[in-house]
Homo-oligomer: A and B are copies of this chain.
Amino acid sequence: MDMDSKYDDLSAVYINCTLTKSPAESHTGNLIEVSRKIMEKQGVATEVIRAIDHDIASGVYPDMTQKGWETDEWPELYKKIRVADIVIIAGPIWLGDNSSETKKIIERLYAQSGDLNDRGQYDFYGKVGGALITGNEDGVKHCAMNILYSLQHIGFTIPPAADAGWIGEIGPGPSYGDKKQDGTRVGYDSNFTNRNTTFAAWNMLHMARMLKSSGGIPAFGNLPKQWEAGTRFDFENPEYR
């Protein structure tokens, strides 16, 4: 069992995209805690941002106050995300799809996707992404699919099985963490959810460890400014083959 690794220099940010403002309970928040606990036991510095509690503007620019919005907490919140090794987007399912808060966060991350790191790669290179989803009946994969795609597209690495979630049987019903009559909580005994949340957490840890120890993704073949300047990294124009 190879767990000689240390993880206590890593940090993880969970973005909870529930539509429910604090202090009301967030079902997604319940699942985040399961994942977070595992990371914290390894000494990972974790933080949860509950997006709806913040005044985050809508748009695709780094600071929307420059686009007619009076206020925008994103630039401040983004500082935390920028330095995290692991970013997990977590959210609810509405009508089978991600919430508007999830989409807003993805839009704001996208707005930063042209930033470069000091090696000339897109700034998200070297970070690890994951997804946690809760709903009452249908859509974990649909929602995770979009989140993980978006993250990898802008530079995150997605380790194996980086998505986990809970849903009940089809139809209206309780959500993850709702109290049952016998006092236990819905979904907490789901072996599938518990296992997948655990595996996802560990795979994110392993990948973040590997990337951090390697100094990120090697900086060759993925440098936009060099490409623009004419470097082709062994690409051969198919026209001339």
Binding site for B on A (CB under 8 A): 1-3, 5, 19-21, 24, 30, 33-34, 37-38, 41-42, 52, 58-60, 67-69, 94-104, 106-107, 110, 122, 124-125, 137-142, 144-146, 148-150, 152-163, 165-172, 177, 184-185, 188-195, 197-199, 201-203, 205-207, 209-211, 214, 217-222, 224, 227, 232-239, 241
User: A153-B161, A235-B198, A239-B188 are known contacts. Are A96 and B221 too (CB-CB below 8 A)?
Assistant: no
- Taking CB atoms, residues of chain B closer than 8 Å to A210 are 210-211, 214
A89, B153: Cα distance in complex, Å: 16
Chain A to chain B contacts (Cβ below 8 Å), 11 pairs: A19-B107, A20-B59, A38-B236, A52-B58, A95-B106, A96-B141, A96-B142, A97-B106, A152-B159, A170-B192, A189-B237
User: Can you tell how many copies of this chain the complex includes?
Assistant: 4
- Taking CB atoms, residues of chain B closer than 8 Å to A138 are 138-141, 167
Q: Is the CB of B237 within 8 A of A194?
A: yes
Q: Is the CB of B222 within 8 A of A95?
A: no
Q: Is the CB of A177 within 8 A of B142?
A: no
CB distance from A86 to the nearest CB of B (A): 14
